[in-house]
Amino acid sequence: MEGFNTFEKQDKVLIGMSGGVDSSVAVRILQEQGFAVQGAVIRFSPAHDAAVTAAQATADTLKIPLHVIDAEQAFETHVILPFCENYCAGRTPNPCIACNPLVKFRLLAEKADELGCAFIATGHYARVEVGEDGISRIAVPESAARDQSYMLYRLPQDILRKLVLPLGEFEKDDIREMARELQLACADAPDSMEICFIPDGDYSAYIRARGFSPKAGRFIGPDGEDLGAHAGVDHYTVGQRKGLGIAAGRPLFVKAILPSGDIQLAETGQEYSTRMTLTDLATPDGEPLTAGEYLVKIRSAATPTPCRYDGSGSVTFPEPVRAPAPGQSAVFYRDGLVYGGGIIDTTD
C-alpha cells in the first residue's frame, strides 16, 4: 500500500469492524504493517446487534480492544428516513452512499480523535492515493471484481487524509485464505448482499411498517394504454423486468416512475439513455467537478462507461447506457481515481 508500508508502534489506527471476514483480516494486515490497532463496531440499529457480537469475538481472537459506538439516532436521521422518503417518491436510493460520509466514517474519525489514533481504516476494497496536487482521492483496488470505490465517492478530504484501506491490494480469495490461517469463525461466512438494516430484503414491508405511504398509481404501457394498478412505487425500480405482475403479452420493463405515481413501461430496446442530469454533486476536495471527459459508473456493479460532463450537472453518453435510475449515484473516474459524483435526477 503506497504511503502505508512501514510504521512504528506509536502509529495508532482505529478500524471499523463488523465481524465479517474483510474487516477482520484487515486487522491482521494492519498489525503486520506496524500499526497499533484498535477496533470499533458501530451499532447503527437493532438489526446490528449480531454484528456487535461477531466483532467482539474477532477482537478477542486478534487481541485488540474494541469500542462500541452507538449511532442509532444519526443513522435514523441521515440514512433510514431519507431511504424511506426516496423510495416513497419512486426513486432508488443507495443507503451506503449516504451512510459513509455522514455516519460511518464521521463517527470513526471522531472516535479516533478521542482515542489519539492518527488513522482510521475499514475493510473496503479500494485504495487512497495522494495526487501531485496534494488532493487525496479514492482509487480502484487491485480486485476489479470486488471494487467498492463507488461507495466511497462522497468522503471528504479530512476523512481521506487519515484513511487506510488495507484490502486494496488483495483479491477476496486471498482474504478468505488469511482468515482460515487465523482460524477466524467468519472465514467462510457468505458475503452480505442485503441492505444492513433490512436483513430480510423486504424493503416495502419495512417502509410501510414505519408508517410511510408510498405513492400508488397505474402501469402505463408503451403506447399509453392503462395496464392496471400497481402495488405502490416502493415495489419497483427503473430497469426492472421481473415481478411486475402484469400480463401484457410481451416482455416489458420499468422505463420511468412518474411524479404522479404512475409507472411508464417500455419494450426491450427502449431502456437506454443518452443523457442524465445530476444533483447534490460531491468531490474529494469540495471544489466543483471540472467539465470534461470521464468514465462513469451509474451503479455499484456497473462497468465504467465513457461520458462527458458539462460542469453544471448534465452528463451525455457517446453510446447509450442501460437504465440509469433516479436516486442512484453516478461516479466519475479518471486513471482509476474517483474525481466525484452525484445523484441521478433525470434521464433522457
All three cell numbers of 115: 482515542
Say yes or no to pLDDT of 1 above 90: no
Q: Is 5 among the domain residues?
A: no
Report pLDDT digits (tens) over 40-99. Answer: 999 999 989 999 999 999 999 999 999 999 999 999 999 999 999 999 999 999 999 999
Domain housing 292: 272-347
**Contacts (Cβ under 8 Å, ≥6 apart) of 31:** 37, 62
Among 99, 117, 186, 307, which one carries the catalytic annotation?
Answer: 99
CATH of residue 161:
3.40.50.620
Point out the least confidently predicted range of 14-18, 103-107, 157-161, 244-248.
Answer: 244-248
Reported as half-sphere exposure (CB side, CA atoms, 13 A), residue 228 has a value of: 7
Total tally of structural domains belonging to the chain: 3
Is 6 among the domain residues? Answer: no
Residue 178 has pLDDT above 70, yes or no: yes
Statement to judge: residues 28 and 161 lie in one domain: yes
- Residue type for position 123: G
pTM for the predicted model, two decimal places: 0.92
b vs e for 232-263, b when ≥16 Cβ sit within 10 Å of the residue's Cβ? bbbbbbbebeeebeeeeeeebbbbbbeeebbb
Q: Does residue 196 carry a catalytic annotation?
A: yes
Residues 143 and 256 in one domain: no
- Position 304 in a domain: yes
Does residue 194 fall inside a structural domain? no
Q: pLDDT at position 3, please?
A: 40
Same domain, 129 and 238: no
Catalytic-residue membership of 186: no
pLDDT (tens digit per residue) in 107-135: 999 999 999 999 999 999 999 999 889 99
Residues 43 and 127 in one domain: yes
* Residue 328, domain CATH: 2.40.30.10
Q: Does the residue 66 lie in any domain?
A: yes
Regarding whether 82 and 21 lie in a shared domain, the answer is: yes
Q: Judge whether 54 lies within some domain.
A: yes
Are residue 23 and residue 118 in the same domain, yes or no? yes
Same domain, 173 and 304: no
